[in-house]
Amino acid sequence: MKGFFVTATGTGVGKTLCTAALLYQLHTAGERTAARKPVLSGFPDPEGALSDAEILLLAQGLEPTPQSVASIAPWRFRAPLSPDMAAAREAREIDFDALVAFTRGALEGGGGWLLVEGVGGVCVPLDRCHTVLDWIAASRLPALLVAGSYLGTLSHTLTAATVLRARGIELAGLVLSESPESPVPLAETRAALLRFLGDVPCAEIPRLAPGPAPWENAPSLLDALGIVRT
């Protein structure tokens, strides 16, 4: 099974939208897909909004039942905080070895594509001594980095890419998800980043019209990222 670990420069930049769009486009192209959102904070949403795990299931045409959500997101916490803090609120702790085993075990599911969506940004703490960066490295998956287009994203994105590469993690692609307030067009942000990142595949997701399934309206990420369908 081929796959990616979808991470981001921070919270709320479009990581779930990107993952859902990729799953939807692969599924629509006839590819076998699987998704994991192992760690989920702020669940359930007090206002009834769909959780990240439910969105990933819907993007594959699957029903987001309590059982299906639990199967792809076993570490769920009520507080919308970093995983270590959210777990502490419930007198719990994430077992890092179990998390890595769960992630790597999903790769043994046969052919097709696996997308693992992280939580927060690249260096968000998971427990007392591990961050998402440690999780990505242990998963042995190439990383897709999702970034916004807000003021400050250049430094955040280059910092995230630098630490990924410093840990020997393959940066398989960059996805720019347009922020509500962007000081320059996406193309300018892209050009500035690629001057430093080199020949990294880069896709862009502009602001999408509100709707029940916005991931269905995203431009083709498969072509932009050079993802070869079977």
pLDDT tens digits, one per residue of 17-44: 999 999 999 999 999 999 999 999 999 9
Predicted TM-score (pTM) of this structure: 0.97
Catalytic residue among 15, 36, 37, 76: 37
For 116-177, give the secondary structure using H, E and C: EECCCCCCCECCCCCEHHHHHHHHCCCEEEEECCCCCHHHHHHHHHHHHHHCCCCEEEEEEE
Positive/negative CA dihedral, 117, 86, 74, 62: negative
217/194 Cα distance (integer angstroms): 25
pLDDT beyond 90 at 229: no
Could you read off the pLDDT of 84-135 as tens digits, one per residue? 999 999 999 999 999 999 999 999 877 899 999 999 999 999 999 999 999 9
pLDDT at position 210 over 90: no
pLDDT classification of 228: cutoffs 50, 70, 90: confident
Phi-psi region of 118 (alpha: psi -120 to 50; beta: other; left: phi over 0): beta
Q: Would you place residue 1 in the very low, low, confident or very high pLDDT band (cuts 50, 70, 90)?
A: confident
CA angle, residues 171, 19, 201, in degrees to nearest 5: 35
83, amino acid identity: P
* Catalytic residue list contains 37: yes
